[in-house]
């Protein structure tokens, strides 16, 4: 009997426990854009032979125990139940199907996954849109895994479009261009120099940990054009749209400023968001606003140093599940600008990149995020997953926006010999009016926005982000 239970049941990761409570439930929607029509894509056999065998979670149900903890229970999978093909009018224009796809994404994002079968679905959208000849939409319950787990799953199914015998590679993203000379550990002066650094590290840890706890309990951001403060934001209708930037262009900015690609992207999003806030409310440049950034907590995990063959061995190199922590990053203020899209001539847009760089570097280099995670895990063991789940919910709802980013393949992929021209993802169920997802693929960075449909002007926000990118690019390349 013990052997049967061991084979049939598997524990849900600590973070995954918090994502399966009554407090809130998150789902991840991943969209594959295809270069060619997908009418002949062998969907059922692909799922049976390539997808379901990747990990037992894709053939398991979530079952609860008396203490609120949940486990994965292995079951037989009827793949046909997981495949959805919408009834779509024929003979329409790509523009029509583009709008139809957006509405379809909004509808499936808000619908809960049935609990009587494994927590994933595949939606086939065969009609040609503006960007693609056809789309496949994977919908995952977030308890199945985080972005790196999902990327591992994707890489288990695809091949390189140019040469299927080669492994998919990843771009270098977060390596800073700064360098430093190593100092001898026997140098007394070197040791003395480290004393204030250690003191600063301790102070930063205490400050960031304390601020994180307060921000997730009693300190809420100001109401603003990006934070309505309305209860139940996770259930309101959302609008989804994406935009692209050249990864090579971003790397040029990174090299010029000696920061990381992630710093540049975060700085662009922060500046664009502040410009939008200022455009909607001339007094919003000074309003208190915070971004929740997801931090991968896997040890020794650098996607740029991993081949796809390594990533698809999740039980060996990259543990499955939800291994993340939250970094709470304040949005720099934007007081010395005129209302509208463009900052004043005396404004330096690079401050948004540099502030993102310094704050993220400081928070990544001290254990405050891990201490918060340890605290939540301790609370979960004592009181069950509902209490830390409410803490995480409060962390998100007290903040103004969220950013999750993922490094995608540098090479074009194909699925069953159908070339994939683009990928993007979005997270649903988050109690925020503005959510941003970032994914690189080939030579592009795709930014996906999900916003409260009746509160945020999505097209105006995208215009502000585009202007922010151009302002930062111009300032960086002439600095």
Tens digit of pLDDT for each residue in 327-362?
A: 888 999 886 554 444 555 567 899 999 998 988 888
pTM (2 d.p.): 0.86
Place of tokens 């930062």: 472
Tens digit of pLDDT for each residue in 287-320?
A: 999 998 877 766 544 443 444 445 445 444 456 6
More confident position, 190 or 468: 468
Asked if 341 contacts 275 with a C-beta cutoff of 8 angstroms, the reply is yes
Q: Based on the domain organization, do 199 and 151 belong to the same domain? A: no
Q: Does residue 419 lie in a domain region?
A: no
Cβ neighbour number for residue 76 with a 10 Å cutoff: 7
Cβ neighbour number for residue 210 with a 10 Å cutoff: 11
Q: Does residue 169 lie in a domain region?
A: no
Q: Based on the domain organization, do 130 and 255 belong to the same domain? A: no
Q: Based on the domain organization, do 354 and 473 belong to the same domain? A: yes
Q: Which residue blocks in 216-260 are alpha helix, DSSP H? A: 247-257
Assign residue 434 the CATH number of its domain. 3.30.559.30
Task: Look at residues 137, 160, 183 and tell me which one is the last residue of a structural domain.
Answer: 160
Tens digit of pLDDT for each residue in 373-406?
A: 777 777 777 887 788 788 888 888 999 999 998 8
Q: Does residue 420 lie in a domain region?
A: no
More confident position, 104 or 62: 104
Q: Among 265, 247, 216, which Cα is nearest to 393's? A: 216
Q: Does residue 341 lie in a domain region?
A: yes
Cα angle for residues 153, 324, 290 (degrees, 5° grid): 125
Domains of the chain: total: 2
Q: Among 90, 85, 2, 94, which Cα is nearest to 41's? A: 85
Cα dist from 82 to 140, 268, 410, whole Å: 11, 38, 30
Q: Does residue 208 lie in a domain region?
A: yes
Q: Based on the domain organization, do 204 and 133 belong to the same domain? A: no
In angstroms, rounded to a whole number, what is the distance separating the alpha carbons of residues 469 and 68?
46
Domain that holds residue 359: 193-305+315-410+430-477
Going by C-beta distance under 8 Å and a sequence separation of 6 or more, which residues neighbour residue 279? 339, 340, 341, 460, 464
Q: Does residue 424 lie in a domain region?
A: no
Q: Based on the domain organization, do 90 and 138 belong to the same domain? A: yes
Tens digit of pLDDT for each residue in 207-222?
A: 666 666 677 677 899 9
Q: Does residue 172 lie in a domain region?
A: no
Q: Among 234, 277, 291, which Cα is nearest to 456's? A: 277
Q: Based on the domain organization, do 335 and 280 belong to the same domain? A: yes
Tens digit of pLDDT for each residue in 108-162?
A: 988 889 989 999 999 999 999 999 999 999 999 988 888 788 878 888 889 999 9
Task: Look at residues 114, 137, 160 and tell me which one is the last residue of a structural domain.
Answer: 160
Assign residue 114 the CATH number of its domain. 3.30.559.10
Q: Does residue 181 lie in a domain region?
A: no
Q: Based on the domain organization, do 97 and 223 belong to the same domain? A: no
Using the 8-state DSSP alphabet, how is residue 33 labeled? E
Would you say residue 245 has pLDDT above 70? yes
28-42, 229-243, 301-315: the lowest-pLDDT one? 301-315
Q: Based on the domain organization, do 222 and 346 belong to the same domain? A: yes
Would you say residue 196 has pLDDT above 90? no
């Amino acid at each position: 009997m013990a052997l049967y239970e061991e084979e049939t049941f598997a524990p849900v990761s600590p973070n995954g426990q918090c994502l399966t409570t009554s407090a809130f439930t998150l789902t991840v929607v991943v969209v594959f854009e295809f270069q060619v029509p997908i009418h002949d894509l062998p969907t059922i056999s692909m799922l049976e032979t390539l997808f379901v065998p990747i990990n037992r979670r894709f053939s398991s149900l979530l079952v609860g125990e008396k203490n609120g903890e949940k486990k994965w229970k292995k079951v037989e999978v009827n793949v046909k139940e997981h495949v959805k093909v919408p009834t779509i009018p024929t003979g329409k224009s790509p523009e029509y199907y583009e709008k139809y796809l957006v509405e379809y994404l909004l509808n499936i994002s808000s619908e809960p996954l049935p609990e009587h079968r494994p927590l994933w679905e595949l939606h086939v959208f065969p009609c040609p849109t503006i960007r693609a000849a056809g789309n496949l939409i994977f919908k995952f319950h977030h308890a199945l895994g985080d972005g790196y787990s999902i990327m591992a799953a994707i890489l288990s199914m695809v091949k390189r479009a140019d040469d299927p015998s080669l492994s998919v590679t990843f771009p270098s993203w977060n390596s800073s261009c700064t360098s430093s000379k190593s100092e001898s550990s026997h140098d007394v002066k070197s040791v003395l120099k480290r004393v204030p650094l250690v003191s600063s590290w301790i102070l930063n840890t205490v400050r960031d940990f304390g601020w994180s706890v307060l921000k997730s309990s009693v300190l809420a951001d100001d109401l603003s054009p990006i934070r309505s403060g309305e209860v139940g934001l996770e259930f309101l209708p959302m609008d989804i749209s994406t935009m692209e930037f050249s990864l090579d262009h971003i790397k040029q900015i990174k090299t010029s400023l000696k920061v990381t690609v992630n710093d540049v992207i975060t700085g662009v999003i922060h500046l664009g968001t502040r410009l939008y806030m200022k455009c909607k409310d001339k007094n919003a440049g000074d309003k208190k606003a915070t971004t929740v950034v997801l931090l991968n907590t896997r040890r020794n995990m650098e996607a740029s140093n991993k081949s796809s063959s390594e990533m698809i061995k999740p039980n060996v190199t990259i543990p499955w599940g939800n291994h993340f922590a939250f970094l709470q990053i304040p949005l720099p203020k934007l007081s010395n600008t005129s209302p509208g899209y463009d900052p004043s001539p005396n404004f330096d847009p690079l401050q948004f990149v540099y502030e993102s760089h310094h704050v993220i570097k400081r928070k990544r280099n001290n254990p405050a995020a891990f201490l918060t995670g340890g605290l939540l895990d301790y609370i979960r063991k004592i009181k069950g997953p509902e209490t830390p789940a409410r803490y995480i919910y409060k962390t998100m709802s007290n903040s103004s926006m969220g950013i999750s980013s993922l490094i995608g393949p540098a090479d074009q992929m194909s699925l069953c010999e159908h070339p994939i021209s683009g990928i993007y993802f979005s997270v649903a169920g988050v109690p925020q009016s503005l959510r941003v997802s970032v994914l690189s693929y080939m030579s592009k960075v795709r930014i996906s926005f999900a916003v409260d449909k009746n509160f945020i002007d999505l097209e105006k926000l995208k215009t502000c982000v585009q202007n922010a990118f151009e302002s930062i690019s111009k300032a960086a390349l002439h600095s």
